[in-house]
Amino acid sequence: MDLRNRLGRVALDRPAVLLVTAAGATRERLAVEAELARRRWPRASGPAAADLVAFAGAPAPAGDDDWAERLWNGVPAPKARVRVRDPEHAAHALEHGRMALLVGAGTQGRQEQREPAGHERHDADGEHPPQHDGHTASGRSEHDGHTTSGPSEHDGHGHDAHQDHGGSHAGTDQGHHGHGGSHPGTDHDHHGHHMGGAILGLPMAERADDRDGLRLDRLHVPLGPALPDWPAGLVVRTELQGDVVQRASVEALVPPRSSRPAFWSEPWIRSAAGAPVTVGEAARRRCAAHLDSVGRFLAVAGWRDPAAVARRARDQVLGGASVADLRSGLRTLTRRVRRSWTLRWLTSGVGVLSSAQAQRYGVTGPALLADGDAYDRLLVWLEEIDRAVDACGDRSPLASHALNGPRGRIAPEAPASRTLVDVLPVLLEGTEFACARLVVASLDPDLDELAPQHARGGHAHG
């Protein structure tokens, strides 16, 4: 018992972190990702694999669905969660979460040692915990049966932490609603679309004609808003027949208002408001924005090592690295990505968006210039990264240039990312479900642009 507890504490010293980002919290996300890379903590792919949940910003609810709380309930104990609402507090919040996990694991171990053999443990509400194979599940390695949760929820502002005693089983609740992103194949939309009734609370699939005239099951499977490498605040609701997306709709979970401009578009927004901004400052932000998108795209495509290189380069660009240092490292990355025939084969023909179709939807920026599929959009990002690096030292004023940000034209009344969100259903319908996330990653809409700006003194502040 003591050995198991010690091994659990060693494992929790480098917890697997599930990063959940709210729309409008790009600054906080970048700070958390940089701190995770510095600490070399692993990233969890979903709630079931997480020890620590880090919420960047305040998650917006999807109607009456408190998806953030359901995601938390799907994390096995011992567990902890922190909220980062200020980039400067990311390191402190993560450290607090690590310490809370260690304390929680020690408390759980001592509780188990005090219980006599054969004694059935009860949770805080006096209910019997789930049992497996005739014994009470306990310990990190047997996470499916935990009924106690470790502390704590910690606010990134440095406020006091609160112990979480509402431990719960990750079971059917998480599988019922796919917003958490951990079990998309078992989730069905509960809006009355299914016709077959329900068995044990799970809705049956409905039947409908597919594109070949066959009557197949139609499943309602939402994607987002808490998937790894996914646009913050985006929910895509799909209807599947077999492995093909028959219909798709999108929902943007954005805050009602924001007191600061979208991070990636900030230099152009400030310039439009009359603030002095140089071409080099804007080029640095464009380069970092595209590296962020490239990192997500490569991660979704399964190419993790170059994705990590892209993120490190992004942090170096934002950290003010010299143009010479950036140029050598980035050209190595872009050359490696361009030369990958496997990546080209994997992404060619996925999410084709012609320039004519893009113009009909008002799409601007890289998605319009690419005039093609997901791979073509990736190549445009790489080309703009190369050009932006060369312009990082330009001190001429940005006001004399066109206001085109990383996603396209900067227009508060018609954000570039709004058009990318609007065109998503068209590109997803008829696509194989396995390619759906590649389509989204190749557009990478920034939902921070969609939040109404709450003016302070006449304009938004960064």
Ordered alpha helix ranges (H), 363-432 = 366-370, 374-391, 416-428
Q: What percent of the chain has pLDDT over 70?
A: 71
**β-sheet with 17-21: strand ranges across:** 17-21, 52-56, 80-84, 153-155
Question: 295 vs 113, which has greater pLDDT?
Answer: 295
Contact between residue 451 and residue 25 where contact means Cβ atoms under 8 Å apart: no
How high is the pLDDT of residue 315?
96
> Which residue's entry shows tokens 């070399």?
40
The first and second tokens of residue 317, run together, are 């660009």
| Measured distance CA(95)–CA(101) in Å, rounded | 10
Q: Which residues 6+ apart lie within 8 Å of 320 measured at CB?
A: none
413-435: pLDDT as tens digits: 889 999 999 999 999 999 999 99
362-420: pLDDT as tens digits: 999 999 999 999 999 999 999 999 999 999 999 999 976 778 999 999 987 889 999 99
212-254: pLDDT as tens digits: 555 567 899 999 999 999 999 999 999 999 899 999 999 999 8
Which of helix, strand or coil describes residue 322?
Answer: coil
Mean pLDDT of the chain: 79
Q: Give the pLDDT mean for 133-162.
A: 40
Question: 449 vs 113, which has greater pLDDT?
Answer: 449
Which of helix, strand or coil describes residue 224?
Answer: coil
Read off the DSSP letter of residue 46: S
| Measured distance CA(103)–CA(100) in Å, rounded | 5
> Which residue's entry shows tokens 């401009």?
261
Which of helix, strand or coil describes residue 396?
Answer: coil
Contact between residue 345 and residue 365 where contact means Cβ atoms under 8 Å apart: no
How high is the pLDDT of residue 95?
95
Q: Which residues 6+ apart lie within 8 Å of 407 measured at CB?
A: 264, 265, 289, 364, 365, 366, 415, 416, 417, 420, 444, 445, 446, 449
CA 155 centroid distance within chain:
20
Task: Give the global pTM.
Answer: 0.78
- The burial of 142, by beta-carbon neighbours within 10 Å (0-12 exposed, 13-18 middle, 19 or more buried), is given as middle
How high is the pLDDT of residue 60?
81
Nearest to 290 by CA among 370, 182, 198: 370
CA 283 centroid distance within chain:
25
Q: What percent of the chain has pLDDT over 90?
A: 60
Neighbours of 130 (CB within 10 A): 15
Question: 164 vs 198, which has greater pLDDT?
Answer: 198
| Measured distance CA(441)–CA(418) in Å, rounded | 15
> Which residue's entry shows tokens 């312009």?
391
72-124: pLDDT as tens digits: 999 998 899 999 999 999 999 999 999 999 887 655 555 554 555 444 433 33
How high is the pLDDT of residue 114?
53
Nearest to 445 by CA among 236, 177, 260: 236
